A = this chain, B = another copy of it.
Amino acid sequence: MFTVSTSPLIHPNIRNNVFMPRRIRLHTSPSIRLSIRSSSSSSRDTGFTCIDGKKEAKSIRDEIKIQVSRMAASKNIVPGLAVILVGDKEDSASYVRNKKKACESVGIKSVDVCLPEDSSEEDVLKYVLSFNKDPSIHGILVQLPLPSHLNEANILNKIIKEKDVDGFHPENMGLLVMRGREPYFVPCTPKGCIELLHRYNVEIKGKRAVVIGRSNIVGLPVAHLLLNEDATVTIIHSKTKNPEEITREADIIIAAAGQPNMVRGSWIKPGAVVIDVGINHIEDPNAPRGHRLVGDVCYEEACKVASAITPVPGGVGPMTIAMLLSNTLSSAKKFITSNDL
């Protein structure tokens, strides 16, 4: 009989798979900046902090690696992630490669299936159903977007909820949203945003949060994660008439609109904390490839006003993949626990 390890996944202060360190107060008055842990290498004399997602993601991956090797040693089980890619979109292929590399770096088994662009729904579902049954696979994800002839919802809904590590199933979303319920998995990017706030000791309870964007993948779930932690949340979007004015009321801003440099310095209340989820390519003749990545927030302006902000790249992006690894490991742990019962 196996003995279930009780050592934590990420950190001793963990609750519901979300990191829960001791909180400190968020200072939001105009003259007082966010007080963060002094160990941050990005702190400057001004009190401004660049939230280092790359560093935090590495630290999470290191912790996951230890957990994975303990699981292999004590249970002879290796967590497995299956990724299904349909078509040859370069962005998607690159994301899948990064996920594969990240899995390898922590010892998670990664199985990739690359299907041609003109695959039918049945072709894709054949793999989904096979991975659903495969006991060596604990997480399944279908890389989005799918080619337009495929029905995304039909395919995603077929992944069993216990392996839906992306957390995109409507029932999972319902459970995430509802009071007193727990989702199977918290979707990776929103989980990464909240994890960064926790790791930088940003107090959420009672704070005003503005989420810019209402996508199923980021905006909506992150709004509910903040609400579940007792923030007062406003969701703004393309039909909002005065986004600047409303955003300026926020102690915490999550920008997930997909609009390069949309959030200017004037949108930000002095001392606010800004999480920039945007990943936008813009032309830049001075950049080696003629373009560069920017977020939804104008970093140069924001860093003069905010107390802390995530850069792009190196902010939320690396956290998303770390959270995918974390969800896959959690899933493997749950499978072990349920088999032990």
Contact = CB atoms under 8 A, between A and B. Distances in A.
Interface stretch (A239-247, A278-286, A297-305): A239-247
A233 B237 CA distance: 10
A171 interface: yes
Nearest to A241: B206
A223 B230 CA distance: 16
Interface residues of A, number: 32
Contact of A178 (B216, B237, B246): B216
Given A174-B169, A178-B173, A230 B220 contact: no
Interface in A74-116: none
Interface string A160-193: 0000000001111111011111000000000000
The copy count of this chain in the complex is 2
A257 interface: no
Given A232-B235, A234-B232, A237-B230, A170 B174 contact: yes
A198 interface: no
A230 B208 CA distance: 21
Interface string A213-251: 011100010000001001011111101110000100000
A220 B179 contact: yes
Given A227-B235, A232-B234, A170 B175 contact: yes
A173 B179 contact: no
B227 A232 contact: no
A1 B246 CA distance: 56
A287 interface: no
23 contacts: A153-B181, A169-B174, A170-B171, A170-B175, A171-B174, A173-B173, A173-B174, A177-B220, A178-B220, A179-B214, A179-B220, A180-B216, A205-B239, A206-B239, A206-B240, A208-B246, A214-B227, A230-B239, A232-B234, A232-B235, A232-B237, A232-B239, A234-B234
In the A-B complex, list the 9 residue pairs whose CB atoms are closest, starting with the nearest. A170-B174, A174-B174, A173-B174, A230-B239, A171-B171, A234-B234, A232-B240, A170-B175, A178-B216
